[in-house]
Structure 1
């Protein structure tokens, strides 16, 4: 028979294992949350605020209620029954996400993200908040050195949280589907709870509960959805990959003889081409290609920041311009190559653009920045310091061309601030809307051209030399070369690394973009995470 001290030593070790596993799985749930609500609410500051706030609130309530319960029902089997219930709550997330998100999307970016996060992740995180007070209560009966034991539990739990965060961000998301990771997390919690209850023979009524995770785990893998839209268009998800940086999808749309292929990242369109010839069906790439080409006929080298579907680097390569590309996500390169035929002759750099601009000694005749989605503006690339780095990478007649999703008449604060910031670095900053701005239509893609020296005329002959896809031709012909200026006195600030509130003040614009995407992309494709 083991002595009491031997029993305590092994039991405390098991409790420490419980602490580290639960601490890790809490962070897995939190990090994965962005992948569940990202396609509908984005991955901006508001989304992470909702995720962190709901996690902290749920855990705090769990600590409080768990502490109260542990004083009254502090037996270990009650703790592991709660862990089992937390596992079941996690297993329900993939099943409940569709109806919950459908209910929450109309609530808007801020409220919708908070409510959906609360409904989906709050129950399991609340139950996992019970673990720490229960562990302390149980350990207090086993050992006299309570302070050291409590410290050990918190240290181990925190290390588990670090491990869970790193494992999810660096490994799991890239190798497993989001739904499958939730199933693994739920199953681990169920096994931990049920394993203890079965080992200690506290299993009355347990068997029916164990059938549920088994049935959920045995669900067949989802087929890539194919949907017929209201106008008769066939939409088919061709590929779906969860990378370290977002949910990347390729979608084909076909109607009669027409076939369009789009690249989506977290639900937002990052490029669309005619599948038969690779030409862009959207206006903004033509602006970023043709305007610099018409201003600098001697262009030989270019850098494109943001691969997307590879439309822009492929076009410049076809004109004989050696084009380098920098993008932080290797999955984007693979998708652009396999599904959009992108094969730039220049170098492909897989790294953060700001880091590349700091380290690279190369200079270019043109830098194209195409990383703005209208949803998550990378503030670290839109500060006066970052733009100064770009200016140093430009040759004598070098130019910067930016694709910016912006507002021109109503909520102009951030759009005007970007322009004001550019003018701190460049002598010439010109705005070319890809649409006809007016009271009814004041938001859309803006091509912004910046350079040093006197104004440069547009060579209209060079502009008219290239073909434009019929789906984009009307907008390009009507607006290419038409400049816009914000009225004098338009409120604006200079964006810096220290103060860059673009996520906050641009929220209404991003809500509008999300609404357009949700209304134009089939729900079955947005929700898919197989």
Structure 2
């Protein structure tokens, strides 16, 4: 594995690698990794337009299956810009807290769109017009996980106001399918806000493993085709507590 760059930002350690193997697949890959060793984005250098990771493939399917003619998307968490880059003719507004992530996406992953704003995604979304977006995608991580202020009922109620009648919110999360108080709380909080919701998991060895999850909330019924979900399967989570903003602030 070859290290191409390492940056220490105000928020985290960020590294870019090249490798001949990624998650068991042989090839030539370049990927962005945070200090918790989680891969935040990857490209196949032999086929740069191919979407390597399963979770963006599953998110893209949910977007196209539920609103094929969508136009406006707000994304919190840039990574290497995989989903926005996949749709050159759609309108994406992207919020990224870490300017180093944006710089590395341009230098090493050929991200060319001028649609990424550096700052807090919740604050930026609050300034957007009501009922503007077809989708809101939350793909934000720190070494502690998804930022707290992006998991509260106050936040989800605000996202509902920013979505149009056909709109949905899609979250990329990491957690356990059993006895995970935080994941259960995030999902229960979202369910209290949206009329319809589903959760999908990329199966691991067992229920105690940290696994990749995708959660979607909408005010209309949610459709998907299992064969197009890149290995993700629908599951049910346990009930959890409702997360609210801290009184002292976000």
TM-score, structure 1 normalization: 0.43
User: Aligned residue for 2:46?
Assistant: 276
User: Contact 2:177–2:207 (CA<8 Å) still a contact in 1?
Assistant: no
- Give the one of 341, 345, 356 matched to 2:124: 356
- Picking from 242, 246, 269, the partner of 2:12 is 246
Q: Retained in 1: the 8 A contact 2:95–2:117?
A: yes
> Does residue 497 in structure 1 map to residue 245 in structure 2?
yes
Whether the 8 Å CA contact 2:145–2:174 is kept in 1: the answer is: no
Aligned pairs for 1:148-297 (under 5 A) are: 235-254=1-20, 258-268=27-37, 269-278=39-48, 279-297=50-68
* 1:21-420 alignment, distance < 5 Å: 235-254=1-20, 258-268=27-37, 269-278=39-48, 279-317=50-88, 320-344=89-113, 347-361=115-129, 363-372=132-141, 375-409=144-178, 411-420=179-188
- Equivalent runs, 1:435-474 vs 2, <5 Å: 435=203, 439=206, 442-453=209-220, 455-458=221-224
Alpha-carbon separation, structure 2, partners of 1:304 and 1:439? 31
Q: Structure 2: state its 5+ residue gaps.
A: none
SS state at 2:235 partner? coil
The answer to whether the 8 A contact 1:289-1:316 is kept is no
Residue 338 of structure 1 deviates from its aligned partner by: 1.3
Distance 1:245 1:483 in 2: 33
1:430 aligned partner: 198
SS at the partner of 1:399?
strand
Note the alpha carbon deviations across 1:14-38, whole angstroms, 9 max, x for none.
xxxxxxxxxxxxxxxxxxxxxxxxx
User: Following TM superposition, by how much is the alpha carbon of 1:439 offset from its aligned partner in structure 2, in angstroms?
Assistant: 4.0
Provide the rounded CA distance (Å) in 2 between the counterparts of 1:427 and 1:398: 12
8 Å Cα contact 1:323/1:344 also seen in 2: no
Question: Counting strand residues as a fraction of each chain, which structure ranks higher?
Answer: 2
- Alpha-carbon contact 1:384-1:496 (below 8 Å) kept: yes
Structure 2 vs 1, CA of residues 491 and 438 (structure 1 numbering), >3 Å: closer, same or farther? farther
Cα 1:374–1:431 shift into 2, 3 Å: farther
1:483 has 2:238 as partner? no
CA displacement 1:114-139 (0-9 Å, x = unmatched): xxxxxxxxxxxxxxxxxxxxxxxxxx
Describe the shift of the 1:484–1:373 C-alpha distance in structure 2 as closer, same or farther (beyond 3 A).
farther
How many residue pairs match? The answer is: 241
Contact 1:365 1:399 in 2 (8 A): yes
Comparing both structures, which one devotes a greater share of its residues to helix?
A: 1
Cα deviations by residue, 1:85-136 (Å, 9 ceiling, x for unpaired): xxxxxxxxxxxxxxxxxxxxxxxxxxxxxxxxxxxxxxxxxxxxxxxxxxxx
Partner Cα separation in structure 2 for residue 293 and residue 373 of structure 1:
28
In structure 2, what is the Cα distance between the partners aligned to 1:498 and 1:484? 30
User: 1:384·1:495 contact (CA, 8 Å) conserved in 2?
Assistant: yes
**Cα gap change, 1:239 to 1:247, in 2 (>3 Å):** same
CA distance in 2, matches of 1:428, 1:379: 23
Q: CA deviation at 1:441?
A: 6.2
Partner deviation per Cα, 1:372-407 (whole Å, 9 max, x = no partner): 367432001111111112112111211111001121
Any unmatched runs of 5+ in structure 1? 1-234, 465-474, 500-530
What is the SS of the residue equivalent to 2:240? Answer: coil
